[in-house]
A and B are shown apart, each in its own frame.
Chain A
Amino acid sequence: MTKHNEQFEHQLDKHFSERKKRHTLNAEQRATLTQISDNAATKKPTRFLLPLQMTGLACALVVLGFTVFTTIDKTTEQQASLNTYAVQQSNYHFIEVHQVDSAGSYLSEITTQKQQLDDKLAADLRLHQQRYIEYGKLVNVDDDWFIASCHNEVLIQIKNSLLDDLNTKHAIESGITMGDMLAMAHNSQGQIIALKHAGDGVKVCRG
């Protein structure tokens, strides 16, 4: 290589070295190029699919839950309508038992069927105790009578002892049969003192 060529090659190297210094990516451009790779990391198909899968799963659960709820609700309604007069104590929130004990004293008690009553339910109970039901349907006649309040909230069990006592006092209207709407008279202590037909005005539960 001649001296002239050596000089030229040297100039060429020098020029490209200088040129490279003048043409470099600035900080903003470097950041942009780096972001390309960062963005690629956030665009993995799995990360896109996961929320889609979770949404689909949630939708499926909602539909399943709705279907099950509807089915159970219908089943309960069907059972209630089919066994109009059957006594299924588990269907009632409260059971009141009224009777006269061997000493001739009037006894009444309320049994909660659901042990896990919350405070609200307890409050409802207190409210209920202050508002005696006046009407109910005679849903079963055994040794004892079972009278259900409207909407099947309360089942009143009148023990045979009280029935005998009321009959003795002629406080039970004659001709009462299962399925009749009954009117109950209470004294100031909430004790049942008479039973009779509800009358033409109250044939069915209202409200």
Chain B
Amino acid sequence: MVPMLTSLKSWFISQPSDDHLADYAKSGDTRHLTKLVTLFGNDLYHYLVTQSNEQLAFDISQQTWLKVMEKRHHYQPQANPKAWLFRLARNALIDEYRKQQRFVELEDSTVIAAKSTEQSFDYDKFNAALMQLSFVQREALSLQQEGFSLDYIQHITQSNHETVKTRLRYAKQNLKIILGADNDQA
């Protein structure tokens, strides 16, 4: 009886939440969707650019928002709706790579041999080094920079905790190595 009254109360006194995805899933009101695009559109696009290129990133962005509309009934309110969105985008990106028969390394533990790691910041050089990382290492780094915790990275990439930690460790290690090697070559 009490849970029923509680749910009735929450139904009558439904207040707007911070989870616009939940609001959209519940009501279908596209104003929430527009708000989501405003809130997360750029972050999502940046993640996709880091994992692909500008053209494909924008295509996948559009596909992702369309999928949000299609799958809104499957969404369950959660603490970090952004993670759900990123996971949707990641799946769309990997599907696209598979369609194009482009190989995506989903399991990578490549370690580049250590060299000098003394470095100074140079955007282009840093970016070139980042692009040399494997898909999953770059992804782990990108998601961490996006502010996701290990748990959420694990959720988005559908892997386990240790794998995420390993990817991050290798990503940083390899980045340092590549940057150090470039410095040596210069």
> Which residue of the partner chain, among A11, A20, A23, A29, contacts B126 with CB atoms under 8 Å?
A11
Per-residue contact bits, chain A 2-42, to B (CB 8 Å; 1 contact, 0 not):
00100010011111101110011100011011101110110
The interface centre, meaning the residue of A8, A19, A30 with most chain B CB atoms within 10 A of its CB, is A19
Interface pair B45/A14, CB less than 8 Å apart: no
> Which residue of the partner chain, among B34, B42, B175, B176, contacts A20 with CB atoms under 8 Å?
B42
Q: Is B157 an interface residue (CB 8 A)?
A: no
> Given the complex, which residues of A lie within 8 Å of B175, measured CB to CB?
8, 12
Interface pair A33/B65, CB less than 8 Å apart: yes
| Secondary structure type dominating chain B contacts | helix
Interface residues in A, total, Cβ within 8 A: 24
> Given the complex, which residues of B lie within 8 Å of A32, measured CB to CB?
62
Interface pair B46/A33, CB less than 8 Å apart: no
Q: Is B49 an interface residue (CB 8 A)?
A: yes
Provide the bound-state CA to CA distance between A119 and B5, in Å: 71
A and B contact pairs by CB, cutoff 8 A, 13 listed: A8-B119, A14-B121, A15-B126, A20-B43, A23-B49, A23-B57, A24-B45, A29-B45, A30-B41, A37-B33, A37-B34, A37-B37, A37-B69
Residues on B facing A (Cβ under 8 Å): 30, 33-34, 37, 41-43, 45-46, 49-50, 54, 57-58, 61-62, 65-66, 69, 117, 119, 121, 123, 126-127, 130, 141-142, 145, 172, 175-176
